[in-house]
């Protein structure tokens, strides 16, 4: 029988996309007020893999990722997804923009072994957590690189995204190595 232990260390990840820079800035500010400083910020990637979001978000979307500095408990993922959904609604209601959804927020977490995203949609590869929130392993780390799964979104297969996630993995690994080991006895 295995021993029950604490989860492996992870970093909270927030993906945001919009055609409006002020929306992205607002999202970062909300994240920092709630979860503390950003440890790593990606470039603003052009989001061109699908036009699925254009009817509600418009053209010219850019996506950015933030990894927050502090180690985070992955059991809080449903709470984060519910909160970021509220933030999307709040921004849409107060920004005064034409699009019904000017900001999209996708939280998840990054560990040394995987990148997990939260979703409100059930599917065969998603695990129900609680409060209507599911989780999926979007990327796994194996053979010295991030590996896509059959269900991985097209943009998460991009090499430039994966380079950012590799930087995040390196950062997390360094943080783990720097933390003091618990004393025995």
Q: What is the torsional sign of CA 68, 34, 108, 90?
A: negative
Q: What is the pLDDT of residue 185?
A: 43
Residue 49: which H helix or E strand, with range?
none
Give first-to-last CA distance, the chain, whole Å: 23
Got the DSSP string for 102-148? S-EEEEEEE-SSEEEEEESS--TT-EEEETTEEEEEEEEEETTEEEE
Is the pLDDT score of 7 beyond 90?
no
CA 9, CA 175: separation in Å to the nearest integer?
9
The model's pLDDT over 119-166, given as tens digits with 9 standing for 90+, comes to 999 999 999 999 999 999 999 999 999 999 999 999 999 999 999 999
Taking all residues of the chain, what is their mean pLDDT, rounded to a whole number? 94
pLDDT at 180: 63
Which stretch of DSSP H or E encloses residue 96? none
pLDDT at 44: 96
Q: What is the pTM of this model?
A: 0.93
């Amino acid at each position: 029988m295995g021993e029950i232990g604490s989860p492996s260390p992870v970093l909270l990840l927030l993906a945001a996309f919009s055609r409006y820079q002020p929306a992205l800035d607002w999202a970062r500010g909300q994240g920092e007020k709630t979860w503390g400083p950003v440890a790593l910020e990606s470039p603003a990637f052009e989001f061109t893999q699908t036009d699925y979001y254009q009817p509600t978000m418009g053209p010219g979307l850019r996506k950015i990722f933030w990894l927050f500095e502090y180690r985070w408990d992955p059991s809080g993922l449903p709470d984060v997804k519910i909160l970021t959904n509220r933030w999307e609604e709040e921004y849409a209601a107060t920004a005064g923009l034409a699009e019904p959804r000017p900001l999209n927020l996708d939280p998840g977490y990054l560990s040394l072994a995987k990148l997990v995203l939260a979703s409100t949609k059930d599917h065969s590869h998603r695990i129900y957590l609680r409060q209507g929130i599911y989780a999926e392993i979007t990327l796994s780390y194996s053979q010295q690189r991030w590996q896509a799964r059959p269900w991985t979104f097209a943009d998460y297969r991009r090499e430039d995204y994966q380079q950012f996630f590799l930087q995040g993995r390196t950062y997390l690994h360094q943080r783990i190595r720097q933390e003091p080991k618990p004393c025995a006895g």
